[in-house]
Chains A and B, each alone.
Chain A
């Protein structure tokens, strides 16, 4: 029987009639419409996104039964403040740049607010202690901690509110658009969008690594009350594939087909409630005939191995030959041979995969879901339904992180399929367990290196063999071998290169796209191998890299020169003094210290190819609205990296107006132009370039129209936020609204297209995969290693990155800090083991406790072509972190770590075995 529970919620008394054992989180979100509090795990208290205050004390609302709050007081993020009246903690989070995707933000804010209520002057350690149970994947925690310190100082009256700097738009510390909604829990992520009549969907998934689907019986499932439909491959009207994204993957494995991984999708169950959908999914009877399983890529390559796909177990390969590598290696004075290994990694975004599908007012099957480019998803969904792309609409909502996870169009296709059949709204949200089982992962690599140098420290030859484990399917990983090789040779001059990479199928989870797209793994192996070489030579890590760095304009070992300014020299020179100081301090520490801790300092560099291949042409639109406001239309999905804010800044700077004069329409296939192939940190450069072109064109037509009204030459007008003035004569002006009305009256188009077209600068090249855009960076990591236990603490990281031009320096910092901590996770903590790992309880992403002191050095070597000289950053920032940390550990313990994550156990074993492993 329902209980009646009354409690105070955000200052008002509420009464709920419900099962009192339901979680407070579900009641808040589903019954009371307060969706600011988030669900990041499977109601097991693992992530902190659900934090609310119960009588002023932070609790996990996912573990709090409704019955417990009878007569007590609950405060959620919505109650703490609203966008018109922010609580100081909310304001500080906004001002300090502590909000990226925003999904962890409500929980963090509530935890911080509770801390400051009982301790108005917390130390950094106390802040970390209060928040170490709240996971964040974007920020690396640095600005979150800074925000709490800022809030505390302001609440004590010791710090003034930040003055809004009205002058610079680009390069100033620019608060993110929509941040007020994010810090007050008003932002609607997919699961927050209300659609009361929506049906609910669950996926029936294979429990086997490899099996034939012999039969499927939905009878019992259809008898479960609330279940309306069970969809199988037979119900797919178009093609049962997402080829073009993943060449070998079905949407639903048909009867008679084979499931190739645990979590492979076999059927979709649509029901009136999530519970019914779940019960229905459990009631679908699938008959599997297990097949031999192969999880190790080497085994998959052996002649007797079971064939996972028709064409054998190699998905794709890539090779580069430059000069004569064997001869170059033979001519070396010093040669180092290494094998490095990395693990499956999971993106672990705080927002689980979720989608909402419906038929829109124009009759289009519409999917609202996180994407990297909605047109991209639309183009894979339409063929599944057997319809034209124009009959499908994809909208990118506010998204709780991606890191490549949301590139996979499978979820959009499945949701669209359900809407196609049901003709009603359908929602789906993965469980965290399902996300871990079934969503794409980062490819594990085995990298075998042979590198050589002369005794003067000049690189000679490189021989590289990479085996990447692509799991059961392509999943957008077809080009991984190319990226593996490019990153595996680095921004260095080699006399001879013989590099080969292959992507191999196994029955592990499908490896797909994850931040860096196959480059962090081989960059890690390269930069650690180089460190071994440097140690053998007795050389200096910075000088060695400077000496061997690729020079601007010279043909690289890839066979072409880089297209954009490289910046590696500047990066290394900037980081050199920090490296030297930390290295000296570590040596002094180790000489004095008698206890179990040893300090180590390591350095690593990188280059990252940004921008992707394909036709180098992107378009965007700009418009003068009838309300006199400028509108920019582009497709640059913001899943936390801050690109929406960058687009607004670029437009404002180009027009010479303030940010508030710009409205952004972003990432909706019905209203924005296709940006082309997404990802690869390309948006600032490419989409930004298009936005700048579009607003420049708009400025011209507006100036033209206004100059007619003002009777002056078009070159003499100046734009402000709401008016157009004659230069030097402010009295002669006309409102932008009036200009718009006039243009409308004359039948002049108020909307223009801008095209960023670099086809002439970068003509199609005969060489495969010609993409000559690179950014560079280098990190120095300082670690403490406990030689008795193998425990590693990363105490400090200095991260220098050439960004071309920092459009939003604080957000650039935030991206780098987040990337450093993600790299730390890969280096020390994270390991997805198929069949073993289930979720946050056994996949260890860094908590606030792991956060090192991070110093960011932004180098600005302007690009030749990018808007205001900008380049790309989001992924590149991750590459040097893991090798810098591992190099630091290796130097601290005097033994090489050749496998990550370098868990305490692996570090201890490396010490015990000593020397090379």
Chain B
């Protein structure tokens, strides 16, 4: 028999975790937790449902910062007007998680804590250089989401001791754009063969000032193609440059063969074009965004 608690506040949720000494578990939508319980991977004595905590259910946009509460669902994220219009990498990644009736429950924080190398939400967070606010008995701290993946299925966040309360990321002023691509054995309800999120900042001269390229599953964690990112800096994102960036990203990647999805060779073969096309879309959006005013503070 499992106890089920609808926490009314973060403090209450923490207290419940303490009370159960590691045998309670934070749960938001439950779309991963329920499956893990059924499969016998976890057996919590208490489920601490955080979806009624008001402060965790907000999306706020303040200046350059977007702050997404941990209980905001992927459906709400993709439908949020600011995110839908400006943060394509996140809106489109949210669209790819399972299907709509899963997105209506599943959360970004939950996706990150599940710690799979190709998790769409996790990858988008890495592309955005997002930070997660982690609260536990010792206090609260913001940590880069990229640092939270230990190995496949294992997060640096312990959902029996800690709570992610918020995820935030910066949408810089000026020419910033993002994009998302995904390849799979079919177009819905499938784990990815390859997915890619990219964010680009362009300078006034049209050259890349900052690039973030997140790729999965090409490593045990959501992967940053840092060599490709470095290559892009200072260069105008024309087709030849993007193609080269794609090739560099391919060189840094180390995908596995998955018998039900794709071989390592095929994944490698896809990388250059997927990275190039994602970067191109991000660059287009960055270029267009320079001509629009920013949202009011």
Looking at chain A's contact residues, is the secondary structure mostly helix, strand, loop, or mixed? Answer: loop
Residues of chain A from 44 to 93 with CB closer than 8 A to chain B in the complex: 44-46, 48, 51, 54, 57-60, 62-68, 70
Is B269 part of the contact surface with A, judged by Cβ < 8 Å? yes
Is the Cβ of B2 less than 8 Å from the Cβ of A849?
Answer: no
Contact with A along B232-260 (1 / 0, CB 8 A): 00000000000000000000000000011
Is B165 part of the contact surface with A, judged by Cβ < 8 Å? no
Q: Which of A43, A789, A791, A846 has the most CB of B within 10 A?
A: A789
> A45 to chain B: which residues have CB within 8 Å?
31, 35, 98, 102
Q: B110 → chain A, closest Cβ, in Å?
A: 12
Q: B40 → chain A, closest Cβ, in Å?
A: 11
> From B193, which residue of chain A is reached at the shortest CB distance?
A904
> From A55, which residue of chain B is reached at the shortest CB distance?
B104
Q: Interface-forming stretch among A327-335, A607-615, A835-843, A890-898?
A: A835-843
Residues of chain B from 1 to 22 with CB closer than 8 A to chain A in the complex: 1-6
Q: A787 → chain B, closest Cβ, in Å?
A: 10
> From B183, which residue of chain A is reached at the shortest CB distance?
A789
> B266 to chain A: which residues have CB within 8 Å?
904-905, 908-909
Residues of chain B from 240 to 296 with CB closer than 8 A to chain A in the complex: 259-263, 266, 269-270, 273-274
> A846 to chain B: which residues have CB within 8 Å?
186
Is the Cβ of B105 less than 8 Å from the Cβ of A60?
Answer: yes
CA distance A836 to B38 in the complex (A): 20
Known: A43-B38, A836-B259. A789 touches B270 (CB 8 A): yes
Query: Looking at the complex, which one of A1, A66, A849 makes contact with B188 (CB distance below 8 Å)?
Result: A849
Is A139 part of the contact surface with B, judged by Cβ < 8 Å? no
Is B185 part of the contact surface with A, judged by Cβ < 8 Å? yes
Contact with A along B83-96 (1 / 0, CB 8 A): 00000000000010
> A65 to chain B: which residues have CB within 8 Å?
4, 27, 30, 34, 47, 49
CA distance A846 to B190 in the complex (A): 11
Query: Looking at the complex, which one of A42, A63, A904 makes contact with B185 (CB distance below 8 Å)?
Result: A904
Is the Cβ of B260 less than 8 Å from the Cβ of A842?
Answer: yes
Query: Looking at the complex, which one of A46, A62, A130, A908 makes contact with B189 (CB distance below 8 Å)?
Result: A46
CA distance A135 to B186 in the complex (A): 13
Is the Cβ of B37 less than 8 Å from the Cβ of A21?
Answer: yes
> A21 to chain B: which residues have CB within 8 Å?
2, 4, 37, 47
CA distance A62 to B191 in the complex (A): 19
Is B100 part of the contact surface with A, judged by Cβ < 8 Å? yes
Residues of chain B from 83 to 130 with CB closer than 8 A to chain A in the complex: 95, 98-102, 104-105
Q: B1 → chain A, closest Cβ, in Å?
A: 5
Q: B117 → chain A, closest Cβ, in Å?
A: 17
CA distance A70 to B274 in the complex (A): 44
Query: Looking at the complex, which one of A19, A844, A847, A905 makes contact with B263 (CB distance below 8 Å)?
Result: A905
Is the Cβ of B185 less than 8 Å from the Cβ of A789?
Answer: no
Is the Cβ of A788 less than 8 Å from the Cβ of B105?
Answer: no
CA distance A86 to B271 in the complex (A): 50
Is the Cβ of B100 less than 8 Å from the Cβ of A58?
Answer: yes
Residues of chain B from 187 to 246 with CB closer than 8 A to chain A in the complex: 187-191, 193
Q: B138 → chain A, closest Cβ, in Å?
A: 29
Is the Cβ of A847 less than 8 Å from the Cβ of B101?
Answer: no
Query: Looking at the complex, which one of A1, A44, A903 makes contact with B1 (CB distance below 8 Å)?
Result: A1
CA distance A786 to B52 in the complex (A): 45
Is the Cβ of A58 less than 8 Å from the Cβ of B101?
Answer: yes
Q: A427 → chain B, closest Cβ, in Å?
A: 21
Is the Cβ of A44 less than 8 Å from the Cβ of B35?
Answer: yes
CA distance A58 to B2 in the complex (A): 25
Contact with A along B44-73 (1 / 0, CB 8 A): 000101010000000000000000000000
Is A101 part of the contact surface with B, judged by Cβ < 8 Å? no
> A135 to chain B: which residues have CB within 8 Å?
189
Is the Cβ of B273 less than 8 Å from the Cβ of A70?
Answer: no
Is the Cβ of B188 less than 8 Å from the Cβ of A51?
Answer: no
Is A833 part of the contact surface with B, judged by Cβ < 8 Å? yes
Query: Looking at the complex, which one of A67, A111, A791 makes contact with B183 (CB distance below 8 Å)?
Result: A791
> From B51, which residue of chain A is reached at the shortest CB distance?
A68
Is B148 part of the contact surface with A, judged by Cβ < 8 Å? no
Known: A43-B34, A905-B266. A57 touches B185 (CB 8 A): no
Known: A60-B31, A905-B266. A847 touches B187 (CB 8 A): yes
CA distance A17 to B185 in the complex (A): 43
Q: How many residue-residue contacts, CB under 8 A, span A and B?
A: 139
Is the Cβ of A42 less than 8 Å from the Cβ of B188?
Answer: no
CA distance A837 to B261 in the complex (A): 11
CA distance A408 to B189 in the complex (A): 30
Q: A495 → chain B, closest Cβ, in Å?
A: 43
Is the Cβ of A63 less than 8 Å from the Cβ of B100?
Answer: no
Q: A704 → chain B, closest Cβ, in Å?
A: 59
Is B75 part of the contact surface with A, judged by Cβ < 8 Å? yes
Query: Looking at the complex, which one of A3, A48, A909 makes contact with B99 (CB distance below 8 Å)?
Result: A48
Q: A136 → chain B, closest Cβ, in Å?
A: 12
Is the Cβ of B186 less than 8 Å from the Cβ of A844?
Answer: yes
Query: Looking at the complex, which one of B1, B105, B183, B260 makes contact with A63 (CB distance below 8 Å)?
Result: B105
CA distance A58 to B99 in the complex (A): 11
> B3 to chain A: which residues have CB within 8 Å?
1, 3, 20
Is the Cβ of A59 less than 8 Å from the Cβ of B2?
Answer: no
CA distance A48 to B187 in the complex (A): 16
Is the Cβ of A67 less than 8 Å from the Cβ of B101?
Answer: no
Known: A44-B38, A841-B191, A908-B269. A68 touches B260 (CB 8 A): no
Is the Cβ of B101 less than 8 Å from the Cβ of A836?
Answer: no
Residues of chain A from 12 to 61 with CB closer than 8 A to chain B in the complex: 19-21, 23, 42-46, 48, 51, 54, 57-60
Is A133 part of the contact surface with B, judged by Cβ < 8 Å? yes
Contact with B along A834-868 (1 / 0, CB 8 A): 00110011101011111000000000000000000
> B2 to chain A: which residues have CB within 8 Å?
19-21
Is A766 part of the contact surface with B, judged by Cβ < 8 Å? no
CA distance A848 to B186 in the complex (A): 11
Q: A128 → chain B, closest Cβ, in Å?
A: 9
> From B1, which residue of chain A is reached at the shortest CB distance?
A19
> B102 to chain A: which residues have CB within 8 Å?
45, 60, 63, 133
Is the Cβ of B186 less than 8 Å from the Cβ of A67?
Answer: no
Known: A19-B2, A65-B30, A133-B100. A829 touches B35 (CB 8 A): no
CA distance A908 to B263 in the complex (A): 12
Is the Cβ of A904 less than 8 Å from the Cβ of B1?
Answer: no
Is the Cβ of A132 less than 8 Å from the Cβ of B188?
Answer: yes
CA distance A45 to B188 in the complex (A): 13
Q: A547 → chain B, closest Cβ, in Å?
A: 38
Is the Cβ of B260 less than 8 Å from the Cβ of A132?
Answer: no
> A789 to chain B: which residues have CB within 8 Å?
183, 270, 273-274
Is A158 part of the contact surface with B, judged by Cβ < 8 Å? no
> A829 to chain B: which residues have CB within 8 Å?
185-186
> B35 to chain A: which residues have CB within 8 Å?
43-45, 63
> A837 to chain B: which residues have CB within 8 Å?
260
Q: Which of A59, A133, A596, A850 has the most CB of B within 10 A?
A: A59
Contact sample, A vs B, 19 pairs, CB 8 Å cutoff: A45-B31, A45-B98, A48-B99, A59-B104, A59-B105, A60-B31, A63-B102, A64-B34, A65-B30, A111-B101, A129-B100, A132-B187, A133-B100, A135-B189, A789-B274, A836-B260, A847-B186, A850-B187, A904-B183
Q: Chain A: residues with CB nearer than 8 A to chain B?
A: 1-3, 19-21, 23, 42-46, 48, 51, 54, 57-60, 62-68, 70, 111, 129-130, 132-135, 596, 788-789, 791, 829, 833, 836-837, 840-842, 844, 846-850, 903-905, 908-909
Known A-B contacts: A111-B101, A129-B95. Give 13 more (CB < 8 A): A45-B98, A59-B105, A63-B34, A68-B49, A70-B6, A133-B188, A788-B270, A833-B259, A840-B189, A847-B189, A849-B188, A850-B187, A909-B266
Q: Top 6 closest A-B pairs, CB basis?
A: A133-B99, A67-B4, A20-B4, A21-B2, A842-B260, A132-B188
Q: Chain B: residues with CB nearer than 8 A to chain A?
A: 1-6, 27, 29-31, 34-35, 37-38, 47, 49, 51, 75, 95, 98-102, 104-105, 183, 185-191, 193, 259-263, 266, 269-270, 273-274
